[in-house]
């Protein structure tokens, strides 16, 4: 299956114009090494090798930041296959769209030296044309975001056809309305984190003012929210149920916690999980009764009308 990616071309898309003129996408991250011949088939193996390299040149950064940087570098250099599609914001409210044409090449001394050649389409996509869900995904923090689940909508936008209002094909989703609502909950939760019960003890991971802990990539999918306790001793994995089958969401949290424990946690750090759902769920309660270090929260949505 052809994959689709949102790629940031420098911080705040500063290099978008040069990438468009030069027909390439690329990354930097301060790793000044030609990666040709150093790109294994598994990105986890790449991270194991290059996280220490990144931390050596960025001693003030955490393993969480290093994992994010190396994962994005690997995706651009090797993970994106020839023929796959990239959407790159141009910094002016539109997305350049292109097809990746060749394998990795290294351009030392130039901007974004770890590069892939791209054939840019004449069609750009306006952010305002996108569904709210696609806007959220393409606007996520980080250099790389996999947006393949929106392939049908993206293809329609490239062709100049307005997308349908609701697209739901994931068999693990048992309640599409809850799924749509809880995507907005994620944004609301992130924006109002400090006012929540969780925000009293934990902070969402930030890097230079960007919330890199939102949709943090792992080897089994993106973590909704990755946070750290204020005393830096505990990492927190937060997953929204999103109308997903209960057994699936419990398994997701456990897999994400395992990834964080094995790949990101420092020697003195523990890992905890949280599931947030719209309603009480006896199936989740039963599953968590024999599971340690995962809490379950429900939330309420309300609004008022005020006559003027």
Residue 186 corresponds to which tokens in the numbers above? Answer: 């994620």
Q: What domains appear along the chain, each with residue ranges and CATH number?
A: 4-158 (3.10.590), 176-298 (3.40.1350.10)
- Supply the pLDDT for residue 120: 96
Q: Residue 203 and residue 16: Cα distance in Å, rounded?
A: 31
Note if the pTM is more than 0.85.
no
C-alpha torsion 96→64→28→126, nearest 10: 10
Cα angle for residues 225, 242, 189 (degrees, 5° grid): 40
> Residue 252 CA to chain centroid, in angstroms?
15
Q: How many CB atoms lie within 10 A of CB 258?
A: 15
Residues of the chain with pLDDT under 50: 165-179
User: Quick one: which H or E segment has residue 16?
Assistant: helix 16-22
Residue 78 DSSP symbol: I
Task: Tell which residue, 101, 301, 66, 52, has the closest CA to residue 192.
Answer: 301
**What one-character-per-residue DSSP string does 189-233 give?**
HHHTGGGSTGGGTEEE--BTTB-TTEEE--BTB-EEEEEEETTSS
Per-residue buried b or exposed e for 200-237, using 16+ beta carbons within 10 Å of the residue's own CB = eebbbbebeeebbbbbbbbeeebbbbbbbeeeeebbbb
């Amino acid at each position: 299956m052809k994959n689709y990616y949102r790629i940031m071309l420098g911080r705040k898309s500063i290099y978008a114009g040069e990438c468009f003129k030069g027909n390439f996408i690329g990354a930097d991250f301060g790793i000044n090494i030609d990666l040709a011949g150093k790109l294994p088939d598994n990105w986890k193996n790449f991270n194991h090798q290059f996280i220490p390299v990144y931390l050596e040149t960025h001693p003030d950064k955490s393993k969480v930041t290093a994992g994010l940087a190396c994962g994005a570098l690997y995706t651009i250099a090797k993970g994106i296959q020839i023929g796959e599609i990239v959407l790159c914001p141009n910094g002016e409210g539109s997305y350049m769209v292109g097809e990746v044409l060749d394998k990795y090449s290294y351009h030392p001394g130039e901007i974004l030296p770890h590069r892939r050649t791209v054939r840019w389409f004449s069609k750009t996509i306006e952010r305002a044309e996108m569904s709210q869900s696609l806007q959220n995904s393409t606007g996520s923090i980080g250099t790389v975001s996999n947006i393949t689940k929106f392939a049908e909508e993206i293809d329609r936008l490239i062709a100049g056809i307005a997308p349908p209002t609701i697209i739901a094909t994931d068999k693990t989703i048992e309640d599409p309305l809850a799924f749509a609502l809880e995507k907005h909950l994620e944004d609301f939760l992130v924006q109002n984190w400090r006012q929540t019960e969780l925000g009293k003890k934990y902070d969402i991971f930030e890097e230079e003012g960007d919330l890199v802990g939102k949709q943090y990539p792992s080897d089994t999918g993106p973590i909704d929210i990755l946070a750290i306790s204020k005393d830096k001793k505990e990492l927190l994995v937060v997953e929204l149920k999103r109308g997903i089958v209960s057994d699936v969401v419990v398994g997701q949290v456990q897999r994400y916690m395992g990834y964080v424990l094995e790949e990101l946690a420092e020697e003195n750090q523990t890992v905890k999980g949280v599931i947030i759902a719209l309603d009480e769920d006896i199936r989740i309660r039963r599953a968590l009764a024999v599971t340690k270090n995962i809490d379950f929260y429900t939330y309420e949505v309300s609004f008022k009308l005020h006559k003027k």
